[in-house]
Amino acid sequence: MSALPLPPVAAFRGRGGRAVRSLAEDKLLLASGAVCVAIVALALLGPLLASGSPSRTSILEANLGSSSQHWLGTDALGRDIFTRLLYGARLSLAGPALIIAVSTVLGTGAAITAVWVGGRVERVLNRVLDVLFAFPALLFAILVVAILGTGLVAPVIALSIAYTPYMARVVRSVARRERSLPYIDACQLAGLSSWRICSRHILPNVFGVVRAQASIAFGAALIDLAAISFLGLGVSPPAAEWGLMVANGSTALLNGYPQECLAAGACIVVTVVAFNLLGERLAVRSEGRR
């Protein structure tokens, strides 16, 4: 279980999912998609937009409120918070992106293999996934940090493994339904190879669900990874990363300067809401089309 709720996409059934609406009509999908694209674009282009350096300290400018010079104010070392958020976006988003890419490939591969081959292979794979499931993701990440040391590598490896069963579970149920459809028999009778049936027919049909679950899992991975950095076990200072910024800002917050904490926290929340909504709408679409 993840440190934070990672709902399987099936949980969203029944929320306006009955009628398939056209893409243009699904305003929530468009809006959340646009926000996601904007966030990613800011992360990629951010350093071009920011004027100063994220690590330029200035004792005289410590804990300033927002002004025309420092839009979101400065932190306890006088660094510009807005600039650090922009630079931090790369580290904050790259980790979860990597985690989701790896766990999606592993989970989808394992699920389709299990469903296709069946028998003992399926039982063993299911058992492995169950045992992995018994590890809370965050706890697993902390354990792997204990073994490999602090930094981004250990938690990214750990969370990639920890998220695999989540992806596999969702894919498995859809793949199983797909495998039982008559057209798969037809493909087999037509003499298509297993690889071809799985990659050209089953995979495209589970893709809708994979996409939706990946989007939701991205938000959860972002939170888990930020939590690791918040605990001081991930990215180490003076690097800019949202979770680390919340931790850094907590001292200033106690002294009455909440700007860094709140700004970094808001970035995390907005990103997660956008990706959750996107995933939820994608799930409704893929469910409705069926």
Partner 1 sequence: MASAPSHGSRASHRGALAAGRTLARWLVGPLVTVLVASFVISAALALAPGDPVAQLLGPRPTAAQIAVTRHELGLDRSVPVRYWDWLSGAVHGDLGFSIVHRDSVATLIGPRLGTTALLVAYAGVLILVGGVGLGILGGALRRMSPLVAAITGLGIAIPAFVAAQLLVSVFSLRLGWFPATGAGSGLADRLWHLTLPAIALAVAWAAYVAQITRTAIRDEDEREHVETARARGLTAPVVFRRHVLRNAAIPIVTISGLSIAGLIASSVVVESAFGLGGLGTLLVDSVTARDYNVVQAITVALVLVFVVVTTLIDVLHTMLDPRLRRGAERA
Footprint on residues 132-171 left by partner 1 (CB under 8 A)? 134-139, 142-150
Tokens representing 271 are 């990103």
Nearer to partner 1, 52 or 258 (CB): 258
Q: Is 258 in the site for partner 1 (CB under 8 A)?
A: yes
Is 235 a binder of partner 1 (CB under 8 A)? no
Q: Which of residues 180-219 bind partner 1 (CB under 8 A)?
A: 219
The rounded distance, in Å, linking the Cα atoms of 132 and 139 is 12
* 223: contact with partner 1 by CB under 8 A: yes
Count CB-CB contacts under 10 A for residue 147.
Answer: 8
Amino acid type, 184: I
CA 91 – CA 69 distance, rounded (Å): 25
| Burial classification of residue 24, based on how many CB atoms lie within 10 Å of its CB (0-12 exposed, 13-18 middle, 19 or more buried) | exposed
**Cβ-count burial of 10 within 10 angstroms (0-12 exposed, 13-18 middle, 19+ buried)?**
middle
The residue (of 147 and 190) whose beta carbon lies closer to partner 1 is 147
Q: Specify the residue, 184 or 221, whose C-beta has the smaller distance to partner 1.
A: 221
Residue whose CB is less far from partner 1, 5 or 118: 5
- Choose between 157 and 203: whose C-beta lies nearer to partner 1: 157
Nearest to 175 by CA among 114, 112, 120: 112
Identity of residue 57: T
| Residue 253 binds partner 1, judged by CB under 8 A | yes
243 binds partner 1 (CB under 8 A): yes
To partner 1, the closest distance from the beta carbon of 170 in angstroms equals 16
Count of residues engaged in binding partner 1, rule: CB under 8 A? 54
Q: Which lies closer to partner 1 via its Cβ, residue 5 or residue 65?
A: 5
Token pair, residue 233, equals 């076990």
Question: Is residue 9 classed as helix, strand or coil in its secondary structure?
Answer: helix
**Which among 88, 120, 133, 132 has a CA at the least distance from the CA of 229?**
88
Instruction: Work out how close the CB of 9 gets to partner 1 at its nearest, in angstroms, rounded to a whole number.
Output: 12
Site for partner 1 in 22-81 (CB under 8 A): none
Residue tagged 């590598």 (tokens): 153
CA distance 81 to 266: 13
Burial, 151: exposed, middle or buried (Cβ in 10 Å; 0-12, 13-18, 19+)? middle
**Which region among 2-10, 163-171, 173-181, 198-206 touches partner 1 (by CB under 8 A)?**
2-10
Give the C-alpha separation, 65 to 254, whole Å: 15
103-132: contacts with partner 1 (CB under 8 A): 130-131
Q: How far is the CB of 244 from partner 1 (least distance, A)?
A: 11
List contacts with partner 1 (CB under 8 A).
1-5, 7, 11-15, 130-131, 134-139, 142-150, 219, 223, 226-227, 230-233, 243, 246-247, 249-250, 253-254, 256, 258, 261-262, 265, 268-269, 272-273, 276-277
